[in-house]
Amino acid sequence: MAMDAPRTRNAEFLASLVERLLQDADAVLAPIVGKRATERLSAVNLQSTAESWPWLQCEENDSASVATYSLRAVIAAQQLPIAEAASLAVIQNFYLKLTQLIGLSLTEKLLRPVWESSAANIRMDLDHGK
């Protein structure tokens, strides 16, 4: 049996980064649009992304089920190239859906610190071999 790639290059690591990025975005957005709106945005994002990546589909469509759904687990279970493509789709769709909801200018303004923080965290994780 072949060994997985180093942690810095495997689907589990990628899944943790996607999870952290989306959690950080939710933390920024919730005080502005409300927790229910961020949950609904997550549900719509997953539903939309699952049209191309059916294994991402949460079994239930309500916001409470999506909140307990482990996107990290389903991404981590994939082979790296598939996990990379689906993760990119999840992030792109999230950005698109939020832009449709609040507009491009506000989306960029609100998410800029999230992107910058996430990029810094990724560099730090890679430097420390996590």
| 42 found inside a domain | yes
| 67 found inside a domain | yes
Residue 61 has pLDDT above 90, yes or no: no
Q: Can you give the pLDDT at residue 8? A: 44
Distance CA 112, CA 70 (A): 25
Q: How many domains does the chain have?
A: 1
pTM (predicted TM-score): 0.78
| 2 found inside a domain | no
Average pLDDT over residues 50-77: 75
Distance CA 35, CA 56 (A): 22
Residue range(s) defining the domain that contains residue 52: 8-127
| 29 found inside a domain | yes
| 94 found inside a domain | yes
Distance CA 37, CA 63 (A): 9
Q: Which two tokens stand for residue 52?
A: 């191309």
DSSP state, residue 5:
P
| 108 found inside a domain | yes
Q: Can you give the pLDDT at residue 59? A: 66
Residue 3 has pLDDT above 50, yes or no: no
| 74 found inside a domain | yes
